[in-house]
Amino acid sequence: MNQDSSLDTFPKHLLHTARVHANRPAMRHKEYGVWQSWTWSQLLDEIRAYSLGLKELGVSPGDKVAMVGSNKPRLYWTFAAVQALGAVPVPVYAESVAEEMEYVLTHADAKYAVCQDQEQVDKLLSMSEASQLIQHIIYDEERGLRDYDHSRLHHFEQVQQLGRDKLSNDTNAEQAWLDAIAQGRGDELCVMLYTSGTTGKPKGVMLSHNNVMSASRNANLFDNLTEKEEVLAYLPLAWVGDHIFSYGQFLTAGYCVCCPESQDTVEVDRREIAPTYFFAPPRVFENLLTNITVRMQDAGRFKRWLYSYFMSVASRCGEDRLNGKSVGLKDSLLYTIGNAMVYGPLRNRMGMTRLKVGYTAGEAIGPEIFSFYRSLGINLKQLYGQTEASVYITAQPDGEIFADTVGKPSPEVELEIDENGEVLYRSPGVFMGYYKNEEATRETKDAAGWVKTGDAGFIDSNGHLKIIDRAKDVGKLNDGNMFPPKYIENKLKFFPNIKEAVAFGNERDYTAVFLNIDLVAVSNWAERNNIAYASYQELAAHPEVYRMMEEHVDQINRDLSNEDRMAGAQIRRFLVLHKELDADDGELTRTLKVRRSFIAERYDALIEALYSDKTEQFITTEVVFEDGRRGELSATVQIRDMKIYGQEVLRESA
Amino acid sequence: MFYRQAGDFKTTYRGDIQTFPLRQDRIAYYLMLAFAFLVVPFVINDYWASAVLIPFLILAIASLGLNILTGYCGLVSLGTGGFMAVGAYACYKLMTAFPDLNMMIVVLLAGFITAAVGLLFGIPSLRIKGFYLAVATLAAQFFLVWLFNKVPWFYNYSASGQINAPERTMLGFEVTGANAEPAVSYLFCLTILTVLALIARNLTRGRIGRSWMAIRDMDIAAEIIGVNPLKTKLSAFAVSSFYIGVAGALFFSVYLGAVEVGEVFGINQSFLILFMIIIGGLGSIFGSFAGAAFMVLMPVLLKNIMVGGLGWPTDIAAHIEFMVVGGLIVIFLIVEPHGLAQLWRVAKEKLLLWPFPH
Amino acid sequence: MSPQFLYTIEVMLNGLMAGVMYSLVALGFVLIFKASGIFNYAQGVMALFAAMTLVGIQNGQVPFAHLVNAVFGTNIHGFGWNLPALFAIILTLGVMILFAILVERLILKHLVNQEPIILFMATIGLAFFMEGFGDLMWGSDIKVLDVGIPSGGSLWLEDKTIGWAAEGSNYYGMYIDKLDIVATLVALLLVITLTLFSQYTKTGRALRAVADDHQAALSVGISLRRIWVIVWAISGFVALVAGIMWGAKSGVQFSLSLIALKALPVLILGGFTSIPGAIIGGLIIGVGEKLFEFTIGPLIGGATENWFAYVLALLFLVFRPQGLFGEKIIERV
Amino acid sequence: MGARAAAQSIDQGAELLRVDDISLSFGGVKALTDVSFDVLRGEVRAIIGPNGAGKSSMLNVINGFYHPQQGEVWFAGSQRRNPKPHNIAHQGIARTFQNIALFNGMSTLDNIMTGRFTHMKQNMLMQAFWRGPAEREEVQNREKVEEIIDFLEIQAIRKTPVGRLPYGLQKRVELGRALAAEPILLLLDEPMAGMNVEEKEDMSRFILDVKDEFGTTITLIEHDMGVVMDISDRVVVLDYGRKIGDGTPDEVRNDQAVIDAYLGVAHD
């Protein structure tokens, strides 16, 4: 690697970038109607004052500073400001419920907290234990906090002022600050990220400067990212992906990070900024596509025809073009026209006009969705990563894009598949360990530095990694056939009408699933087909909706029957849930992953019905409404039987 | 469809409030300006200058003026012809009284004189609204035309009762009179129009423009905010009359050369300008241009088709023109009361949203 | 009596008669305005169009002859008949009713609930259209309208009055056109009829109901669209009468359409919704402009009739916007 | 010293506005009879009463739409003599209307910018040139307006024409327009009329925040008694144009005359 080895911590990198790219934009924030911008040198000034202010408040090396809030510049500054003092930032999911947050804060021994606004401050103050632990709370937005007791509450600007006063009163202050930064070492703890485990308590993943730095630098090199990139920071701060994209790569590449005005305006803000480098979980791409489809259905005839015609052109040759293969003259010409009439405008609407490379990760993305974006000329790629690896394990190199694999090992990453089919890796990005949890660390990481991913997968003939499912989730049906629930669920979720699916089958006779309809797509479909309904529940139980779902499930069964190891896992029975799976009810995690065991317990009656010969089942569930009240919801849910295909039969007909 | 607004973001309020926030619009605007100033003068001929371009430029000024009053401030005026006459006669008197005065200054002074007259006739606007006010302006129309007809001082006691524009130069080129080159007259008018359009845009985008629109939309609420209705309405009258006066001066001196007041600046001229802003779009600078272009081009086109193409007598063409104009007004009021400007806005919105319908 | 005084009387009489005509036109406005809130600028062009149609039908002109000749190279002009005046008048009335229906169908229906000023501008557009259409249909030349109304000065009146002046003064009696007398009588008759119509017939009451409250009228089952057709037909009728009188006096030509503009100041004086206001306003304007022209006119170049009414109206607008008969408007906040 | 500056110099809790013996009638119909009360700097003062009690008339007297036949209005220590509403705006009084009175042809942003009218001084010449002082003034005021937009959480509708907004948001924009004037006294005419519970809660929060953040004195008319009692410091009760009660919410709530008026007993 060709970078300066003296730049082994992020504060050092900040000083370096502020020197090299002093007048280039470093950060933007949509606030008060325009993109307020900071250059790198301005950014350094802000962070220095802030950092010194924090020091005045008593932040010292080794202290943990919790961060609660959304993607705001001042929160990103907190990372560097805290690290410059040798302390450790601990970003927390702002949306997590109070008990969860309190656990993280107390577990991390947070002595300071930086909050975005009154809501977060209130949440913190309401925690008896964590609140005692935390000595000072710094907040970004003053609104509503004016009348609070300010003995340990500080407005961000006051802290900065403290720092500025220090700078002007004490001529040595700046040098002392720089000296402290110079003393930092790459193997020191850089950040602690709590994983939102699907089971059990969150674990604090400790990453060193070296971890994050090597992952960031390698990622920059891999996709040739420079200081000219613009990215939109909109994913949770506490998530490792955001930390690498909006902090690690930001400082190492020196590019510009843009913070949206609010979570509601992300789409508009993305269109305005038109990021050159973009990251989103598959869900975002799915929603975007659903949106496009729904809106195109409202279009006039001509536009619909234009769209479908040129989308067929794109699906014929778009991906090949992007992969650098030559396509016929006619298609090439048609694609050029389509680019002017449809693809270009679509990219424009999605804010992907300037996109150099986009990544999706976290979960499998539907092959159709993936191809859709690529055929539009958007260089969307997949990667596979984990918090414990500082994200990167595998990624798809340009020109080697397959919808069903997650790519080749990233630079400096070694990959292995163990005898159970579980994927193992080793890299410089591998984490230091779990905070205060030696046991878990030992379970995950062996002495030689190999880390278990917990995912089952294999390396295909191209050398690409293909992930099947969570290793522990891959189960067996009673007849010995393999049962990969995620795999089935993901296939189902690739239908725009299906929002969520939960498959059951481990140690049971056959596969059965819960389905959740996608309200946006299905209600739109219902409107077009004159299907009246008064509620989500009514829509979900509508016979026409069931018919549509049957078609989808049938399609999945055909697909499964055609795959070598999956034919036995075809879906025999399914039902459509009467309520939307919801994080507020604990059915999903905060990152919106399905909590399988919780659901199994909660909907026990429905599962039993699926494995009986009942055609319907009554169920009552407790729900939490938006305003926090609790209530009950009951319904009689229909169950449908599906046709099972034999492998040979289908081969003949196909 | 052609718009690529992604990546076109604003980091300052100055960038946000500029006239053409979209980069592509800005480029198109500068290209148009360059074309109008650098290309057209070299290809212009007499026919294009006198049939299309010069009347368009001058009437665009008048329609900008009326749009400020009617479109922005909500005060309907049927006295445009009369105010144009004030501009024309002021221009004539100044040209003959001070032969050495720079033509640009003459035109501007004519505008100021018209503004003063407009101010006077604007006084009733404080007490009356809607078509009551329209009637009041109609009074101005008839009174002014009568005045210029009946008081010989205004036409320097000439026997015909007409006024004739003497030859005047600007930077050594003849702008008025029989020997004026079309390119020179064109550039003269274009320059004035460009500057006045910029000023109109500047006035309407800021404090004054907002106070006009506030009075137009909800006068009671405007007053509560501190907008003085009299001052605001009078300022709209003055500014509007200034534009109309300048247009009248140019119409007389540069375009026609000779004017008989009842014929040129009669009630029909008032209506024509009113139609321009209805068809073009009330409360829109672009609409003023679009309406003027439409109302200038449409008769030329009709005439070319019916008289030139089909060989019909001119009076039939004239009758049909009346019908088309009247019919279009009704159609626009029914289908698109905000005129071509709104159609343009909608089209642009569609292009921005393309391929989505909403 | 001095001749000066007698002249003044004569001017006033003439003014009164002109005023009755103004009242007649203004009445057409008031009717439409009361029933639909529309200020119908096209009223004057309607009068012109009605007169043209009457002349055309009476003389057996082929409609659109000019256009047809131009398009097909034919040379047709007339059917070659001369219809009796009364028959032609009835046919013209039919045309005006058809016109009312078309206006409702094609324009008003689409502009319900628009602001008055928009409707006003629509009628300006309509006026333009009608002007072109009328000319295209009947040709734009000045036509003579003769339905048998007597014209020329009334010799009887001259004889009667010549002796009123003092001996030796150069006074030759009052000159009053017989046509004006007839017109005055017809106008008076019409004004009385319309007033009675709107006060005492069912339709008339419906019209007033609509004027008072659109919603309420609708809720008791009065069809707004039917009312509109009726008022437009009535105002078409009024236009026809005005067109006949004015056309007989000074020929059927474009300037006829401008008489409608005179009705504007009349309405400002009398108020837009008051029938007596329209009558009295018309008389005031008629007398006022004649007197002004007679007394002040010569001092300032004459032809003051063109603007006197407007300036008078302007003064009213500034100092008494509600007109002579309107109530003071209290603005609710 | 202008009235605005005088008002600004008044201490918290001191008298900002006083109406003395106000009587107002329209053509013989009495709208207000001998009404007197005061408004102290920094408080939320509610005017309540049954329909037709003269509440709106009272606001209209305060901001100069109506001129009472009898009585005196004192603002910031000096007596007013029949000023026009637009003069009153310059003295630092802003208001919202019961029936929303927004400028429908303009966007949210422009509506609120219009509220800055009294703070913008550039003359027509400068406006015509734009570059320089006019633009600078525009940008400075835009900054203020953006703070209000941020405060009222209406960023997403900044450039939407107000006519397209739902009712609740229109109310909020109207409040924004009034706030943009940085008023010393803010008059709110039924700020929560026609709102659902959630919108009412939002609006109550905004009103209290306005008081806290900007120190604005607020006089409001409201029908929803719950809301009035929650957010106001003192309440005036009008009935048939007369004052029948005045005091803290608790005092008023227990006042027999007020209870009677609301139950209709007094007029049986």
pLDDT tens digits along B32-57: 999 999 999 999 998 889 889 999 99
| CB atoms near residue B211 (< 10 Å) | 26
Q: D75 forms bridges with which residues in the sheet?
A: D17, D78
How many Å apart are CA C245 and CA C254, to the nearest integer? Answer: 15
Q: A194 forms bridges with which residues in the sheet?
A: A204
Chains touching C by CB (3 or more pairs below 8 Å): B, D
pLDDT at res. D94: 94
Selection from B345, B214, B346 nearest residue B286 by Cα: B345
- The torsion defined by the Cα of A229, A233, A238 and A242, in degrees rounded to 10, comes to -30
| Full DSSP string of B308-328 | IIT---HHHHHHHHHHHHHHH
How many Å apart are CA C232 and CA C126, to the nearest integer? Answer: 13
Q: Which residue of B has its CA nearest to C113?
A: B334
Contact C330 D26 (CB under 8 A): yes
Band of residue A520 on the pLDDT scale cut at 50, 70, 90: confident
Q: Which residues contact D143 (CB under 8 A, 6 or more apart)?
A: A32, B13
The pLDDT tens digits for D85-115 are: 999 999 999 999 988 899 998 999 999 999 9
Contacts of D128 in chain B (CB under 8 A): 199, 202-203
The pLDDT tens digits for B184-218 are: 999 999 999 999 999 999 999 999 999 999 999 99
Task: Output the average pLDDT for chain D.
Answer: 89
pLDDT at res. A649: 44
Does an H or E element contain A422, and which?
strand A422-426
Average pLDDT value for residue range A116-134: 89
pLDDT at res. A99: 86
CA distance A69 to chain D (A): 17
Partner residue opposite B223 with nearest CB, options D85, D139, D143: D85
Band of residue A653 on the pLDDT scale cut at 50, 70, 90: very low
Average pLDDT value for residue range C225-229: 81
Cβ neighbourhood burial of B105 (10 Å; 0-12, 13-18, 19+): exposed
Contact B207 D120 (CB under 8 A): yes
Chains D and C touch (3+ CB pairs under 8 A): yes
Question: What are the structural domains, with CATH classification, of chain D?
Answer: 1-92+183-268 (3.40.50.300), 102-181 (no CATH)
Report ipTM for this prediction.
0.81
In a domain, residue B278? The reply is no
Whether the CB-CB separation of A130 and A110 falls below 8 Å is answered with yes
How many Å apart are CA A319 and CA A327, to the nearest integer? Answer: 10
Contacts of D110 in chain B (CB under 8 A): 210, 213
Indicate whether B174 pLDDT > 50: yes
Q: C292 — phi, psi (to 5°)?
A: -65, -45
pLDDT at res. A2: 43
Partner residue opposite B146 with nearest CB, options C107, C131, C307: C307
In a domain, residue B88? The reply is yes
Judged by DSSP in three states, A31 sits in: strand
Average pLDDT value for residue range D125-139: 92
The pLDDT tens digits for B253-301 are: 999 999 998 889 998 899 999 999 999 999 999 999 999 999 999 999 9
CA angle C52, C53, C59 (to 5 degrees): 90
DSSP for residue B53: I
Strand order in the sheet with A189-195: A189-195, A203-208, A433-434
Indicate whether C325 pLDDT > 70: no
Band of residue D50 on the pLDDT scale cut at 50, 70, 90: confident
Selection from C290, B345, A266 nearest residue D105 by Cα: B345
Average pLDDT value for residue range B324-345: 91
Whether the CB-CB separation of A274 and A351 falls below 8 Å is answered with yes
Question: Can you read off the two tokens belonging to residue A54?
Answer: 């924090």
For residue B33, give the amino acid letter: L
Please state the domain count of chain B: 1
Question: Can you read off the two tokens belonging to residue C90?
Answer: 């009835």
Strand order in the sheet with A391-395: A277-280, A357-360, A380-386, A391-395, A408-409
How many Å apart are CA C256 and CA C267, to the nearest integer? Answer: 19
Average pLDDT value for residue range D174-194: 93
Indicate whether B69 pLDDT > 90: yes
Q: Which of A247-251, A601-605, B15-19, B152-156 has the highest mean pLDDT?
A: A247-251
Q: D236 forms bridges with which residues in the sheet?
A: D47, D246
Indicate whether C213 pLDDT > 70: no
CA distance C84 to chain B (A): 29
pLDDT at res. A559: 82
Does an H or E element contain A233, and which?
none
Band of residue A198 on the pLDDT scale cut at 50, 70, 90: low
Interchain contact D240–C (C-beta under 8 A): no
| Residue A604 CB-half CA count within 13 A | 3
Partner residue opposite C122 with nearest CB, options B135, B324, B333: B333
Band of residue B1 on the pLDDT scale cut at 50, 70, 90: low
Indicate whether C283 pLDDT > 80: yes
Band of residue A473 on the pLDDT scale cut at 50, 70, 90: confident
Phi-psi region of C144 (alpha: psi -120 to 50; beta: other; left: phi over 0): beta
Judged by DSSP in three states, A195 sits in: strand
Indicate whether B86 pLDDT > 80: yes
Question: CA–CA distance from D1 to each of B227, B265, D5, D77 (Å)?
Answer: 21, 51, 6, 12
Partner residue opposite A265 with nearest CB, options D155, D212, D213: D155
Which has the minimum average pLDDT: A432-446, B8-22, C196-210? C196-210
Contacts of A262 in chain D (CB under 8 A): 155-156
Q: Which residue of A has its CA nearest to D209?
A: A144
Question: What are the structural domains, with CATH classification, of chain A?
Answer: 10-279 (3.40.50.12780), 280-428+448-470 (no CATH), 475-653 (3.30.300.30)
Whether the CB-CB separation of C83 and C108 falls below 8 Å is answered with no
Whether the CB-CB separation of A152 and A135 falls below 8 Å is answered with yes
How many Å apart are CA D122 and CA D125, to the nearest integer? Answer: 8
In a domain, residue B308? The reply is no
Contact B139 C307 (CB under 8 A): yes
Partner residue opposite B202 with nearest CB, options D97, D101, D127: D127
Partner residue opposite C311 with nearest CB, options B76, B139, B321: B139
Indicate whether A654 pLDDT > 50: no
Contact C107 B324 (CB under 8 A): no
Contact B16 A33 (CB under 8 A): yes
Contact B334 C265 (CB under 8 A): no
Indicate whether C322 pLDDT > 60: yes
Contacts of C111 in chain B (CB under 8 A): 333-334
Contacts of C330 in chain D (CB under 8 A): 26-27
The pLDDT tens digits for B140-154 are: 898 899 889 888 899
More confident of the two residues A482 and A378: A378
Contacts of A342 in chain B (CB under 8 A): 355
In a domain, residue B99? The reply is yes
Q: A29 forms bridges with which residues in the sheet?
A: A36, A259
Question: Can you read off the two tokens belonging to residue C188?
Answer: 């008076």
Estimate the crossing angle of helix A73-84 against helix A40-57, to 10 degrees. Answer: 60
Contacts of B4 in chain A (CB under 8 A): 344, 348, 353
Selection from B337, B356, B323, B352 nearest residue B284 by Cα: B337
Contact B355 A299 (CB under 8 A): yes
How many Å apart are CA B133 and CA B140, to the nearest integer? Answer: 11
Contact D158 A33 (CB under 8 A): yes
Q: D93 — phi, psi (to 5°)?
A: -115, 125
Q: List the domain boundaries for chain C.
A: 34-258
pLDDT at res. C1: 64
Average pLDDT value for residue range A398-420: 87
Q: Which of A7-21, B312-326, C48-62, C276-290 has the highest mean pLDDT?
A: A7-21
Judged by DSSP in three states, D126 sits in: helix
Contacts of C333 in chain D (CB under 8 A): 56, 60, 65-66, 97
Average pLDDT value for residue range C276-296: 85
Partner residue opposite B13 with nearest CB, options D86, D134, D142: D142
For residue A186, give the amino acid letter: G
Partner residue opposite A144 with nearest CB, options D109, D156, D209: D209
SS (H, E, C) B174-206: ECCCCCCCHHHHHHHHHHHHHHHHHHHHHHHHC
How many Å apart are CA A437 and CA A104, to the nearest integer? Answer: 13
A332-337 long-range Cβ contacts below 8 angstroms, 24+ apart: A334/A310, A337/A310
Contact C333 D56 (CB under 8 A): yes
Q: Which residue of B has its CA nearest to D181?
A: B225
In a domain, residue B312? The reply is no
Q: Report the percent of chain C where pLDDT is more than 90.
A: 8
Does an H or E element contain C163, and which?
none
Band of residue A463 on the pLDDT scale cut at 50, 70, 90: confident
Indicate whether D267 pLDDT > 50: no
Indicate whether A45 pLDDT > 80: yes
| CB atoms near residue B166 (< 10 Å) | 12
Contact D65 C330 (CB under 8 A): no
Q: Domain range for residue B231?
A: 49-266
How many Å apart are CA D241 and CA D61, to the nearest integer? Answer: 13
How many Å apart are CA C267 and CA C287, to the nearest integer? Answer: 15
Contact C333 D60 (CB under 8 A): yes
Judged by DSSP in three states, C231 sits in: helix
pLDDT at res. A650: 41
Q: C78 forms bridges with which residues in the sheet?
A: C61
The pLDDT tens digits for C51-80 are: 999 999 988 888 888 888 888 888 887 777
How many Å apart are CA C322 and CA C330, to the nearest integer? Answer: 11
Report, in angstroms and rounded to the nearest whole number, the Rg of chain D calculated over CA atoms.
19
Q: Which residues contact D121 (CB under 8 A, 6 or more apart)?
A: D137
Q: Which of B3, B352, B354 best probes binding to A when mutated, by most A CB atoms within 10 angstroms?
A: B354
In a domain, residue B229? The reply is yes
Contacts of D142 in chain A (CB under 8 A): 33
Contact D213 A143 (CB under 8 A): yes
Does an H or E element contain A71, and which?
none
Chains A and C touch (3+ CB pairs under 8 A): no
Partner residue opposite A342 with nearest CB, options B11, B355, B358: B355
In a domain, residue B285? The reply is no
Indicate whether D268 pLDDT > 50: no
Selection from C211, C281, C198, C228 nearest residue C25 by Cα: C281
Estimate the crossing angle of helix C259-270 against helix C275-295, to 10 degrees. Answer: 110
pLDDT at res. A652: 39
